[in-house]
Amino acid sequence: MDGYPTNPAGAMVVVVGPSGAGKDSVIGFVAQRFVGRVDIDFVRRVITRPSDAGGEDHESVSEIDFDARLAAGDFAVAWKAHGLQYGIPREALDRVRAGRIVIANGSRGALDQFRQVFPKVVVVNITASPAALAQRLVARGRESEADILKRLQRQTPDILDEADVTTIDNSGPLEIAGSRFVALVAELQGTALETG
């Protein structure tokens, strides 16, 4: 690990799941429960998507700037999906090494990278029923109905059976899935957290 000491309490929590499963909403729910906690961080991703495109709060960059930052080693993990480039800033690795719980919206295709880079990785797989996925994708208004059907048809099954994966169904009320995620973070910290 580049000669850096690592605090075993630290962990990178990577949130994955199909489009429309509500990953951003669940992450937002968890973030509200841990406001003010210095030992729990939420990653602001760098994405080659306009800042006003909706969805998560991200740092918007051009493809040229992204490639330059990638070449400079600014990202701990980077990947391409749906015609965009995504990066997890290198500072996230420093935070995990310092013993913090760091939560990031990730990608299934990048899980091997996360596992190679971070000393401890926990994967949270957010799922939802096909009906809920379709309804949410239509409500986002980012894609045509035909594009949404294509996206749903090519999505892989929501079965991740690795030991470091926890699957949370977000088909119902956000509070149910969010509370399960909050409990997972509390377990990682090894304490009953005061979450309001």
> Any binding-site annotation on 150?
no
pLDDT given at position 192: 41
Report the CATH number of the 11-45+89-187 domain.
3.40.50.300
pLDDT given at position 52: 73
> Any binding-site annotation on 17?
yes
pLDDT given at position 48: 93
> Any binding-site annotation on 67?
no
The list of the chain residues with pLDDT below 70 reads 1-7, 53-55, 136, 138, 140-161, 163, 191-196
pLDDT given at position 1: 43
> Any binding-site annotation on 22?
yes
Identify which of 30, 40, 4, 26 has the alpha carbon closest to the alpha carbon of residue 117: 4
> Any binding-site annotation on 177?
no
> Any binding-site annotation on 112?
no
Threshold 0.85, pTM exceeds = no
Q: Are 81 and 107 in contact (CB under 8 A)?
A: yes
Per-residue pLDDT reduced to its tens digit, 94-118? 999 999 999 999 999 999 999 999 9
> Any binding-site annotation on 54?
no
d(CA 138, CA 171): 15
* Domain segments of the chain as ranges: 11-45+89-187
Helices within 62-119 (DSSP H only) = 63-71, 91-97, 111-117
> Any binding-site annotation on 190?
no
